[in-house]
Amino acid sequence: MSGSVEIRQATAADLDLLVQLRVEYIRADLAELADDEEVAITSQLRTWIPANLGERYFAELAFVDGLPAGIAVLVVNEYPANPRFPNGRVGTVLNVWTRPAHRRRGLATALLGEVIALGRQLGLARLELLSSEAGKPLYASLGFVPSSDDHLPMELTYR
């Protein structure tokens, strides 16, 4: 990696940056946002993140030469136990994203390394994520494997 790199866990003081990076990620990876959608998402994030930071929501931030360059988020969920997660605690990895100018320099690997270590420290039974095709080699290099779950992901949307 070129330049001075810092990886650290987000704090309440990072709220504006966390919201900004989430919106950038959504725009780049998921969809363009209509103005009203962005307002609704931003509003929810400004309430939800502080209410969950350090308990259910953890974000690792990467900085290059003091400027924000990437993020990886861990959301902790608790469910009734089963053989796949006997303690009921499962981490979901979200929003792994590096700004385009800083890609292919190992930042995502470093961020995910911190998330993996944090999941272990928090006593999670496992980490889950949804991967893009481009992300599969990165996740595989860190030990992620395709889920052995034979259940098909499905959803019902209420909007």
Segment 132-151 shows an average pLDDT of 87
- Residues 146 and 131: their CA atoms lie apart, in Å, by 10
Segment 100-125 shows an average pLDDT of 96
Q: Does domain 5-141 have CATH number 3.40.630.30?
A: yes
Over pLDDT 70: what percentage of the chain?
97
Residue 23: alpha-carbon gap to chain centroid? 13
* In contact, 74 and 93? CB cutoff 8 Å: yes
Question: Which DSSP letter does residue 53 get?
Answer: B
Nearest Cα to 59, choosing from 25, 100, 24, 11?
11
Asked whether residue 1 carries a pLDDT value surpassing 60, the answer given is no
Domain coordinates of the chain in residue numbers? 5-141
pLDDT for residue 134: 86
The overall average pLDDT reported for the chain is 92
CB atoms within 10 A of CB 74: 25
- Residues 70 and 96: their CA atoms lie apart, in Å, by 8
- pTM, to two decimals: 0.91
Nearest Cα to 115, choosing from 88, 149, 138?
138
Residues with Cβ < 8 Å from 130, sequence gap 6 or more? none
